[in-house]
Structure formats: structure tokens, C-alpha cells
């Protein structure tokens, strides 16, 4: 089976609720068949609106959405054949688990034997065999969530949408459910569009992540690329932890640049800057900066420890470095002999390649 490249396609989609503000602006997004794509962004960034437009509960103000090459803007939700998992599960409280799962099959007039078989299969997929006769109210949050996932998959939809499905669960359960949903996706190969504001969730589960902000996709790429190579300062800031320096380009050549800060100068990797004199925000991941580096590095600076927080597997150290008192370092607990004490001065080094000069904030 060859995978279709643009199975779900948003083509120049705009959305406005009140005719004054665009919630989604000029959205272009291609999702491959069988892919797990996450829409990640802060609340109010337009990600849920996109999902609702795909499900058919909102209509695009402009542009068109294609599902398997067919425009779907004028198709009502119940004819789209898209499964959906809602934030609050939306299980039918007056039906048993079995009836909940059988509902999409019954409205499709599938024979009773097939319904029994399919429901049983779906229940075993989410490891809830034997729970068919329970009412949703008798299940725990995690079990309800799994029923909701099973119900969205039981009628073999081509696309499944998930709207912050794990938001109401506690941390441990949320993590195990992340793996469970990922495994279900891998085993049945359905296309999943997932919405969350939790970056950890997005990084764990997705093939690709679309980072939303201000109604626009800021970056669409695989989790590792998103983390390692953010294309702008919003993405760098939003995904993972990030140390920043605001400055001005003083020299640029051969894939490297010099950034003049208020105090001192650093070597950085020019990503979205082109000429001398441009304002920029330099972004460095905490784990790329080393304490007392043995090898020679492009940047070597001295910083004063202002705060030490013990986190179990690592220690967070906040430094005052080059006038930035929010410079964070993560020191693994195995690193010994380091003199990490409040007020000490330590050497910090990082390579120019890891310091990405992005757009100014």
C-alpha cells in the first residue's frame, strides 16, 4: 500500500468567529496517510479550531480542506467518517460501554454478529475486554479514556482526531496512556491528528509536530528537529528549555556570526539573520552548555551561581552569565567533583553551532 502524501490537506484556510479577528491565518498543512501529527501550541493559538474544522463542527471562513483529495467543507460531520476523541471523553452516560462502542456501528446498519466481533476486538485493543456491560460512570478516568479511544476507532475511520484527550488524567496515567495510544497507532496505522498544549506529550507520540501560535503554523517538523533546530524564537522558547541572549549582529560570514551583547560578544549560528546590524535573539539549549569544558569551545564565559535546585536525577543551576541572570544549566547527578555552590564562579563553554541566532523577540 503506497502512502498518500497529502491525505489530509489544509489549503489556505482562514477562520474567523466574529469577522474581526482571524483565529487561523492562511493555514497550509499536508498530512500523510498513517501519520501521527500533533498540533501543539498555547491556548488560543487556533489548534483546536483547526481540528474542529477538520471534524466538521466549524466551517473555514476561507480556503478548503481536502480529505483524500476530496474537498470536505460542505460535507456534514456525520458523513465525513472521521473518528474523534474528545477532551472530556464524551461517552454516552446512559449507554453501557458495549453500547457506546456499538453506536457508530449501529448507525451504519452493520449486522449484529459483526458488531459483536468488532466491539470485542476494539475492547481487547485497549485492554478492556469484559468491561462491556459497565456504565461509563463506573469506570476510572483512564478506563473511560480508553473506551473513548476504542469508540473512535471501532468503525475503522481513515482519520482519528484527538482533542487534548489526556488533559484530565494524572501525570503517571497520562504517560502510560501516551505510550498506549502510540502503540495503537503503530499497530493499526490509522492517520491521527492530535491536539495538545503539552510539549512532552507531543514529543513522545508524534511523527511530526505542527507548532501553532497566533493562528499560524510556526514550524512543522519531526520532534527531534523541532527541538534541535527551532526555526524561530517562539518555537525555541515553547519547546523545551532555552537560554536566550538578545543582541545585534556585528559580523557574519561562512555560516557563523558574531553577536554583540550588552556585556561582551558571542559566536553563534545565523539561522534567521542575514546582515550586520540586525537585532537577534540567540538561543542555547541548557544541555549544550558545559561546565569546565575539557575541549576547546567557541564560547567560553564565566558565570556566578545564583540558585541551585535539586531535581533528583539532575540539578538545575541558575547562573548570571553575560548579564543574563536566567541562564539555566542542567547538571546530571553523576557529574561529581563539580564545585556547585551558591555564589561560586564557574567556567561555561558552548559551541557556536549550538547557539542559534534567531529572530528578535
328 Cβ neighbours under 8 A, 6+ residues apart = 241, 243, 286, 316, 317, 318, 319
C-alpha span between 168 and 181 (Å, rounded): 16
CA angle 43, 45, 51 (to 5 degrees): 95
Strand-strand pairing, 82-85 and 159-163? parallel
Find the part of the chain contacting other proteins (CB under 8 A) among 8-16, 90-98, 112-120, 229-237: 90-98
Residue 103 interacts with other proteins (CB under 8 A): yes or no: yes
Quick check: helix, strand or coil at residue 217? strand
User: To which H or E segment does residue 36 belong?
Assistant: strand 36-40
Of these, 59, 73, 88, 176, which contacts other proteins (CB under 8 A)? Answer: 88
Of these, 56, 165, 215, 223, which contacts other proteins (CB under 8 A)? Answer: 56
Question: Could you tell me how far CA 48 lies from the centroid of its own chain?
Answer: 13
Residue 17 interacts with other proteins (CB under 8 A): yes or no: no
Residue 90 interacts with other proteins (CB under 8 A): yes or no: yes
> Which phi and psi angles does 40 have, rounded to 5°?
-120, 140
Show the binding pattern over residues 129-168: x = contacts other proteins (CB under 8 A), - = does not.
----------------------xx--x-----x-------
Residue 92 interacts with other proteins (CB under 8 A): yes or no: yes
Residue 57 interacts with other proteins (CB under 8 A): yes or no: yes
Quick check: helix, strand or coil at residue 357? strand
Show the binding pattern over residues 258-297: x = contacts other proteins (CB under 8 A), - = does not.
----------------------------------------
In the bound complex, what is the minimum distance in angstroms from residue 104's beta carbon to other proteins?
4
C-alpha span between 177 and 205 (Å, rounded): 10
In the bound complex, what is the minimum distance in angstroms from residue 198's beta carbon to other proteins?
20
Contact residues for other proteins, defined by CB under 8 A? 55-57, 76-84, 86-88, 90-94, 103-104, 107-108, 151-152, 155, 161
Amino acid at each position: 500500500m503506497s502512502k498518500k502524501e497529502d491525505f489530509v490537506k489544509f489549503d489556505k484556510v482562514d477562520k474567523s468567529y466574529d469577522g474581526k479577528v482571524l483565529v487561523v491565518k492562511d493555514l497550509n498543512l499536508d498530512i500523510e496517510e498513517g501519520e501521527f501529527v500533533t498540533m501543539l501550541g498555547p491556548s488560543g493559538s487556533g489548534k483546536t479550531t483547526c481540528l474542529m474544522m477538520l471534524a466538521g463542527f466549524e466551517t473555514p471562513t476561507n480556503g478548503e480542506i481536502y480529505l483524500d483529495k476530496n474537498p470536505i467543507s460542505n460535507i456534514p460531520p456525520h458523513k465525513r467518517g472521521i473518528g474523534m476523541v474528545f477532551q472530556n471523553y464524551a461517552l454516552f452516560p446512559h449507554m453501557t460501554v458495549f453500547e457506546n462502542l456499538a453506536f457508530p456501528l449501529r448507525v451504519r446498519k452493520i449486522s449484529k454478529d459483526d458488531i459483536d466481533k468488532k466491539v470485542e476486538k476494539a475492547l481487547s485493543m485497549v485492554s478492556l475486554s469484559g468491561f462491556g456491560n459497565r456504565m461509563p460512570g463506573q469506570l476510572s478516568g483512564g478506563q473511560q479514556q480508553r473506551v473513548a479511544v476504542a469508540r473512535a476507532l471501532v468503525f475503522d475511520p481513515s482519520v482519528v482526531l484527538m482533542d487534548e484527550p489526556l488533559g484530565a488524567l494524572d501525570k503517571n496515567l497520562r504517560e502510560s496512556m501516551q505510550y498506549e495510544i502510540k502503540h495503537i497507532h503503530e499497530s493499526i496505522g490509522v492517520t491521527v491528528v492530535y491536539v495538545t498544549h503539552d510539549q512532552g506529550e507531543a514529543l513522545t507520540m508524534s511523527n511530526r509536530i505542527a507548532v501553532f501560535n497566533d493562528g499560524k503554523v510556526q514550524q512543522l517538523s519531526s520532534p527531534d528537529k523541532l527541538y534541535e533546530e527551532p526555526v524561530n524564537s517562539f518555537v525555541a522558547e515553547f519547546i523545551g528549555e532555552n537560554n536566550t541572549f538578545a543582541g545585534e549582529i556585528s559580523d557574519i560570514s561562512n555560516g557563523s556570526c558574531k553577536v554583540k551583547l550588552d556585556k561582551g560578544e558571542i559566536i553563534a549560528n545565523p539561522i534567521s539573520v542575514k546582515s550586520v546590524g540586525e537585532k537577534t535573539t540567540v538561543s542555547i539549549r541548557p544541555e549544550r552548555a558545559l561546565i569546565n569544558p575539557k575541549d576547546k569551545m567557541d564560547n567560553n564565559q564565566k558565570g556566578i551561581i545564583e540558585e541551585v535546585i535539586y531535581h533528583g536525577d539532575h540539578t538545575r543551576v541558575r547562573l548570571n552569565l553575560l548579564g543574563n541572570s536566567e541562564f539555566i544549566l542542567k547538571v546530571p547527578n553523576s557529574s561529581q567533583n563539580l564545585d556547585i555552590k551558591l555564589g561560586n564562579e564557574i567556567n561555561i563553554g558552548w559551541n557556536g553551532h549550538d547557539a542559534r541566532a534567531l529572530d528578535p523577540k
